[in-house]
Amino acid sequence: MIQVEGVSKRYGPHQAVRNISFEVERGEIVGFLGPNGAGKTTTMRILTGFLPPTEGRAVVAGFDVMEQPIEVKKRTGYLPENPPVYPEMVVDEYLDFVARIKGIRGPEVAQRVDAALERTSIGHVRSKVIAKLSKGYRQRVGLAQALIHSPDVLILDEPTVGLDPKQIIEIRELIRSLSGEHTIMLSTHILSEVASTCHRIIILNQGQIEASDTPANLIARLQGGESVQLEVDGPAAEVAAKLQSVAGVDRVTRGSDVAGRPTFTVDSQRTADIRAELARAVVESGWGLYGVKATGMSLEDVFLKLTTTDPVAEGSEGEAEAAVAAEEN
């Protein structure tokens, strides 16, 4: 549905996006993740035909964004960072206007407006002036605007920014409900957001793609395996040796004691679950097993590890990149 080949964007001397390439399949939800200034908005603007790329080619819904922009725009819905609403207009009037400039005509306009209002649950504010709506509702009007012509591709730039937790959950559910019928690209800084809504994450940093994978794989790849925490009632040294002998175990480290019982963190190379084997090893040795817990590294950690570059110390940037490179091998 979306193909990006070697796209770069320069603003004067400043290179905002450097030679990025990726593809998004029909019906997929892909999340763009990256710190401020990573180039997320720039990339999305290129995909929507708002900005021309300096180099490279982007094909959306089968049409080149530079050569057939109108065809692309007919098939894409776009929610910019700030919802593009006219504050002095009434919600209904605004959506009517948007439907028409998106190419909808005749009695279908009213139907589409109703459908979009319902989809984003803003029917009860339809006769209000947009300026008087709360930020969350304005965001939903922006979303209604993006999907009014039921486009093949939806591009949502930070769709949940500025919303309260309840609204965030609602918008995420809405986005999930839209997948399948639409191909969706969204950007965010919030990691739990991509983890809970997206099939795939593309991590952008300083205009480059640092990683592109499913949320689960990203964690596994970064960690090089699983990590299990155990709490065992038994002689610490012996337990550690026993755990180390279980097939697939990479490393055993002893943590702080809990109620006099030692705890262990067991790292395994495999992505397979070895909790059952660990538990059996402990119980068969006659020790008491008080807890087994898999601790996947959170996406927050992935994010920090991948994209944190310390502007003060140049060296750490190299290290972070080396770490990523090592993980990818």
Partner 1 sequence: MSNVWTIARRELNVYFSSPIAYIVLAMFSLIFGYFFASGVAFFQSISAQAAMNPGMAPPMNVNQFVIQPTLGNFTIILLFLMPMVTMRLFAEEQRQGTIELLLTSPVTDYEIILGKWLGAVLLYGCMLGLSLISMAVLFLYTRPDWKALLAGYLGMLLIGSSLLAIGAFLSTLTKNQIVAGALTFGLFLLLWVLDWVSQYSTSMVGKVCSYLAMPPHFEQFTKGVIELKDVVYYLSAIFLGLFLSKRSIESMRWKA
Ligand X SMILES: Nc1ncnc2c1ncn2[C@@H]1O[C@H](COP(=O)(O)OP(=O)(O)OP(=O)(O)O)[C@@H](O)[C@H]1O
81/114 with CB nearer ligand X:
81
CB atoms within 10 A of CB 170: 17
**Binding residue (CB under 8 A) for partner 1 from 97, 285, 292, 321:** 97
257 binds, among partner 1, ligand X, Mg ion, none (CB under 5 to 8 A by kind): none
105/166 with CB nearer partner 1:
105
Torsion on CA atoms 62, 184, 142, 10, rounded to nearest 10: -70
The number of residues in the chain equals 329
User: Measured between alpha carbons, how far is 213 from 31 in angstroms, rounded to an integer?
Assistant: 10
51/191 with CB nearer partner 1:
51
CB of 156 to ligand X, least distance (A): 12
36 binds, among Mg ion, ligand X, partner 1, none (CB under 5 to 8 A by kind): ligand X
Instruction: Name every residue whose Cβ is closer than 8 Å to that of residue 120 and which is 6 or more positions away in sequence.
Output: 140, 141, 143, 144, 147, 174
CB of 146 to ligand X, least distance (A): 17
78 binds, among Mg ion, partner 1, ligand X, none (CB under 5 to 8 A by kind): partner 1
- Within 1-60, which residues bind ligand X (CB under 6 A)? 11, 14, 16, 34, 36-42
Q: How many CA atoms lie within 13 A of 72 on its CB side?
A: 22
45/138 with CB nearer Mg ion:
45
- Within 76-95, which residues bind partner 1 (CB under 8 A)? 76, 78, 80-82, 84-89, 93
User: Measured between alpha carbons, how far is 102 from 52 in angstroms, rounded to an integer?
Assistant: 20
Q: At what angle are helices 236-245 and 275-284 packed, to 10 degrees?
A: 130
Tokens encoding 135? 């930020």
16 binds, among Mg ion, partner 1, ligand X, none (CB under 5 to 8 A by kind): ligand X
89 CA to centre of own chain: 33
34 binds, among partner 1, ligand X, Mg ion, none (CB under 5 to 8 A by kind): ligand X
First to last CA, the chain: 29
85/99 with CB nearer Mg ion:
85
37 binds, among ligand X, Mg ion, partner 1, none (CB under 5 to 8 A by kind): ligand X
Place of tokens 């480290």: 253
CB of 45 to ligand X, least distance (A): 8
Q: How many CA atoms lie within 13 A of 71 on its CB side?
A: 10
User: Measured between alpha carbons, how far is 171 from 185 in angstroms, rounded to an integer?
Assistant: 14
262 binds, among ligand X, Mg ion, partner 1, none (CB under 5 to 8 A by kind): none
By CB under 5 A, name the binding residues for Mg ion.
40-41
CB of 102 to partner 1, least distance (A): 6
Cβ neighbourhood burial of 108 (10 Å; 0-12, 13-18, 19+)? exposed
User: Measured between alpha carbons, how far is 67 from 308 in angstroms, rounded to an integer?
Assistant: 37
Interacting span for partner 1 (CB under 8 A) from 102-110, 207-215, 222-230, 312-320: 102-110
CB of 31 to partner 1, least distance (A): 20
Contact 204, 32 (CB under 8 A): yes
Number of chain positions touching partner 1 (CB under 8 A) = 31
253/308 with CB nearer ligand X:
308
Q: Which residues bind ligand X (CB under 6 A)?
A: 11, 14, 16, 34, 36-42
Q: Which residues bind partner 1 (CB under 8 A)?
A: 11, 45, 48-52, 70-71, 73-74, 76, 78, 80-82, 84-89, 93, 97-98, 100-103, 105, 145
